[in-house]
A and B are shown apart, each in its own frame.
Chain A
Amino acid sequence: AQSVTQLGSHVSVSEGALVLLRCNYSSSVPPYLFWYVQYPNQGLQLLLKYTSAATLVKGINGFEAEFKKSETSFHLTKPSAHMSDAAEYFCAVDTGGFKTIFGAGTRLFVKA
């Protein structure tokens, strides 16, 4: 069965600092992997997706993630945090069916 673990329910960074949000997955078949962002009282917006093409995936708003099969990881990074990046971030896995499994989320705080 697939599962997703997001390390750290809260991450705090200073504006301009590196953002690193960690995600590890478990899947018995090659997965599709996603990062979504959720702002308060809104739905989820797709940041980026891995679909077995390039292992380094670039998304919107300067975010990127690297798929590492040996580590079963798909960590999200952004070189320089902006105040507008403060939100909840969800990692998700899909093995090609209809069911997407989401992690518990990581809330990102950005300090001025």
Chain B
Amino acid sequence: DTGVSQDPRHKITKRGQNVTFRCDPISEHNRLYWYRQTLGQGPEFLTYFQNEAQLEKSRLLSDRFSAERPKGSFSTLEIQRTEQGDSAMYLCASSLEGTGTYEQYFGPGTRLTVT
């Protein structure tokens, strides 16, 4: 068990560019979550997958954001036409349905800076 991994760890981009982040969950986990964390705040829920199905999206996830989990394993989060307000840490987490504890395991995050 290597834990949840995210790539890249850091991304600097110019306003208006597109960026894509990847998350690899713990291998047997069927639930995957994306959160956004800004300085001085706790993580805010963005979206959630159960296997390959995206079951919920936050209103924080504007039309410029899209997430996929094509085979129920890794997931990608794409931000189109980035804005300075998108600068944040993007966290991925995974969990296993059926354990009854709803414990999520977090990756190290991808820190996005939009200049």
Interface residues of A (CB under 8 A from B): 4, 9, 32, 34, 36, 41-46, 49, 51, 90, 92, 94, 96, 98-105
Known contacts being A32-B101, A32-B102, A51-B101, is A104 close to B108, with CB within 8 Å? Answer: no
Contacts of A36 in B (CB 8 A): 106
Query: A11–B29 Cα gap in the complex (Å)?
Result: 35
Query: A32–B103 Cα gap in the complex (Å)?
Result: 9
Q: Is residue B40 contacting chain A, with contact meaning CB distance below 8 A?
A: yes
Q: Is residue B69 contacting chain A, with contact meaning CB distance below 8 A?
A: no
Query: A34–B109 Cα gap in the complex (Å)?
Result: 19
> Are A102 and B42 in contact, with the CB atoms below 8 A?
yes
Contacts of B44 in A (CB 8 A): 102
Q: Is the interface of A mostly helix, strand, loop or mixed?
A: strand
Known contacts being A90-B43, A99-B56, is A42 close to B102, with CB within 8 Å? Answer: no
> Are B101 and A43 in contact, with the CB atoms below 8 A?
no
- A51-B101, A104-B42, A105-B42 given. 20 additional CB < 8 A pairs? A32-B101, A34-B103, A41-B109, A42-B109, A43-B108, A44-B106, A46-B103, A46-B105, A49-B103, A90-B43, A94-B102, A96-B102, A98-B33, A98-B48, A100-B33, A100-B102, A100-B104, A102-B44, A104-B41, A105-B41
Among A32, A41, A103, point to the contact of B42 (Cβ < 8 A). A103
State the Cβ distance, B107 to closest chain A Cβ, in Å.
Answer: 5
Contacts of B50 in A (CB 8 A): 98
Query: A43–B26 Cα gap in the complex (Å)?
Result: 14
Query: A31–B107 Cα gap in the complex (Å)?
Result: 24
Nearest neighbor of B43 in chain A, beta-carbon distance: A102
Nearest neighbor of A102 in chain B, beta-carbon distance: B42
Query: A76–B104 Cα gap in the complex (Å)?
Result: 19
State the Cβ distance, A41 to closest chain B Cβ, in Å.
Answer: 7
